Structure 1
Amino acid sequence: MTGATVALLDSMDAVARIERARAEARQRRRLATWGYGALFIGLVLLSAWVSDFSPATLAAGLPRIGEYFSLILPDLRADRLFADSETEGSLAYWMYRLDEWAWLLFETANMAAMATLGASAVAALLAFPAARTVSPSPWLAAAVRRFLEICRTVPEIVFALIFVWAFGVGAFAGILAIAIHSAGALGKLFAEVVENADLRPVDGVVASGGTWVQAMRFGVLPQVLPNFASYALLRFEINVRAASVIGFVGAGGIGQELYKVISFNYYEEVSAILVLIILVVAAIDLASERVRLGLIGAAR
């Protein structure tokens, strides 16, 4: 057997081994896929059983949802659409309390703005000790992160119930509830932004004799500030929706009025308030999105 033949056989043997290894790897991936797929389906079925979910219940309830929506739809008529508020079937008749609702929507937006502003300030302060790359101590970073987790784990509506009991019914309780939850959520996002910052400016400030606070102020903050503002605007959009919900427990804003009209079955008023909330939230989303994209573009 010549050397060329031996080399050819060795090469064929190596190719065969590679093919066998590839086939075994494919088989393992296939088995893992089927195994995880079966586990996922099992968990879904277990969740459905624990939560009493069933297709029959869903099918029975869907017609009732349609019935409710048919009740809240306004009885608008083309020939009276633009008549005065005394004429049934007109837009003015449907929105007969527009001035009151507009003020409550303004209060809701202000609740969200105040809560977002306060939460952003707290989150920005806590983000630096929470960031593992720049925190003065690993223990401090872990402690701050656990505190932020507690703040964002408890839903806003639970905080709102507590603060309504402590401070009474009104917007103040809602602002505190949204602010605490938002501080936890923004703190995590801000800390991750800080961890991705370039640390060379920090080294320069420290080498010049600067303190840790000065290193954060002049070495990190200019890098991360546009992203901080972008996340804060995104959170403001979320908080407008949250402020509309926590009013259900007496925390002020349009949500309190919405809960009242739902409770008393004032069907057409329910749809009027919902339409106004959707329009306001959409307008705020569009405006803040433009600002956020502008900040991201400026940062780049």
Structure 2
Amino acid sequence: MSHAIARLPDEQLAPLIARYEAAVQARRRHTFIVAAVVLLCIALSSWMGEVKPAVLIANAGRLTNYFWSITPTLRWSSLWADLSEWYWNLDHWLALLLDTILIAYLGTLLGGIGAFLLCFLASANLVKNPFIRIAARRFLEFCRTVPELVFALLFVVAFGLGPMPGVLALAIHTMGALGKLFAEVVENIDMKPVDGAVASGGSWAQMVRFAVVPQVTSNFASYGLLRFEINVREASIMGFVGAGGIGQDLVEAIRKFYYSDVSAILILIIAAVVVIDLVTEQVRHRLIGWEARQ
């Protein structure tokens, strides 16, 4: 059985076609304007940053030459001897790498505690007083806006060389970064348990403890583990300003042109970051899966 396709009269179809074509033209204009703005921003950024493609291309070979210079000579006939010579200071470097991981761990722990305490005050659905909420948000913004290296330099001047400035710098920046993420998690919770806790006469602290925290624990832990991965990488360069860890030996090797030491330390850092990334990734997936089953 055939079905006839209804066709609008030309006097009704023409205005619809005209509106459609006008909408298409407007969309194209918007796309062109956005593309032009993006290209303009790229051009201005390249000009202000003195990005010169010709210089980049002309000197690109220096980077590959440097990587070739730090690559050790390994011969199959004397492989063990070559590896022993390459990692001649392995015990010392492993100890410094452990220091780096512990700096990242302690900085993440202290920053996470601070973020946990402040995120509830920065959440619009829990705090109606705008002064408290805005003050908490601005403080967290300050903590995450100042780079870790700047904080580390300040603390090195105040407390001297060593791991302590690195821990404090990472803790402050971590508190600001995690505080924002934690606050966003809190603002997306189910408010029914909160209303129930308030209706039953619970205080603000009790409402947070029994109605909010159970909903956000796994997400908080997941973000905390992710931040720990980031902090391990950040702690690796804290030694550049004297804030402890393996970065101090790395920058010394770079400055003194100890090429084989540079590659040996870099491989240790990369291996540590990869292992930590794989472990924390599995833990995060288990936490997310556990939350989904609740």
With the shorter chain as reference, the TM-score category is over 0.9
Residue aligning to 2:191: 199
- For 2:20 and 2:210, the matched residues in 1 are separated by 53
- For 2:280 and 2:128, the matched residues in 1 are separated by 35
Task: Describe how 1:161-200 pairs up with structure 2 within 5 A.
Answer: 161-200=153-192
Residue aligning to 1:4: none
Which amino acid is the alignment partner of residue 96 of structure 1?
W
**Residues 68-113 of structure 1: per-residue CA shift (max 9 Å, x gap):** 1111111111100123xxxxxx111100100000000000000000
Name the stretch that deviates more: 11-20 or 127-136: 11-20
Q: In the alignment, is the contact (CA less than 8 A) between 1:129 and 1:136 conserved in 2?
A: no
Residue aligning to 1:266: 258
**Residues 203-252 of structure 1: per-residue CA shift (max 9 Å, x gap):** 11111110111101100000000000000000000000000011100000
**Percentage identity across aligned positions?**
51
| Superposed displacement of residue 16, structure 1 | 2.1
Q: In the alignment, is the contact (CA less than 8 A) between 1:157 and 1:177 conserved in 2?
A: yes
Task: Describe how 1:1-80 pairs up with structure 2 within 5 A.
Answer: 12-80=10-78
Q: TM-score, normalised by structure 1?
A: 0.93
- For 2:32 and 2:38, the matched residues in 1 are separated by 10
| Superposed displacement of residue 13, structure 1 | 3.1
| Superposed displacement of residue 10, structure 1 | 8.3
- For 1:61 and 1:155, the matched residues in 2 are separated by 29
- For 1:132 and 1:247, the matched residues in 2 are separated by 39
Partner-residue secondary structure (3-state), 1:76:
coil
- For 1:9 and 1:248, the matched residues in 2 are separated by 74
Task: Describe how 1:1-300 pairs up with structure 2 within 5 A.
Answer: 12-83=10-81, 90-300=82-292
| Superposed displacement of residue 161, structure 1 | 0.4
Q: In the alignment, is the contact (CA less than 8 A) between 1:108 and 1:244 conserved in 2?
A: yes
- For 1:193 and 1:30, the matched residues in 2 are separated by 37
- For 1:14 and 1:155, the matched residues in 2 are separated by 62
Which amino acid is the alignment partner of residue 272 of structure 1?
A
- For 1:177 and 1:259, the matched residues in 2 are separated by 19
**Residues 20-56 of structure 1: per-residue CA shift (max 9 Å, x gap):** 1111111011111111111211111111111111111
| Superposed displacement of residue 11, structure 1 | 5.3
Provide the aligned length of Structure 1 versus Structure 2.
287
Q: In the alignment, is the contact (CA less than 8 A) between 1:205 and 1:219 conserved in 2?
A: yes
- For 2:283 and 2:162, the matched residues in 1 are separated by 30
| Superposed displacement of residue 138, structure 1 | 2.2
Which amino acid is the alignment partner of residue 62 of structure 2?
R
Name the stretch that deviates more: 12-21 or 277-286: 12-21
| Superposed displacement of residue 15, structure 1 | 2.7
- For 1:232 and 1:161, the matched residues in 2 are separated by 25
- For 2:7 and 2:156, the matched residues in 1 are separated by 82
- For 2:172 and 2:123, the matched residues in 1 are separated by 19
Which amino acid is the alignment partner of residue 96 of structure 2?
L
RMSD: 1.3
Which amino acid is the alignment partner of residue 60 of structure 1?
A
Name the stretch that deviates more: 263-272 or 52-61: 52-61
- For 2:217 and 2:128, the matched residues in 1 are separated by 21
Name the stretch that deviates more: 68-77 or 221-230: 68-77
Structure 1 unaligned spans of 5+:
1-7, 84-89
Structure 2 unaligned spans of 5+:
1-5
Which amino acid is the alignment partner of residue 243 of structure 1?
A
| Superposed displacement of residue 139, structure 1 | 2.2
Residue aligning to 2:3: none
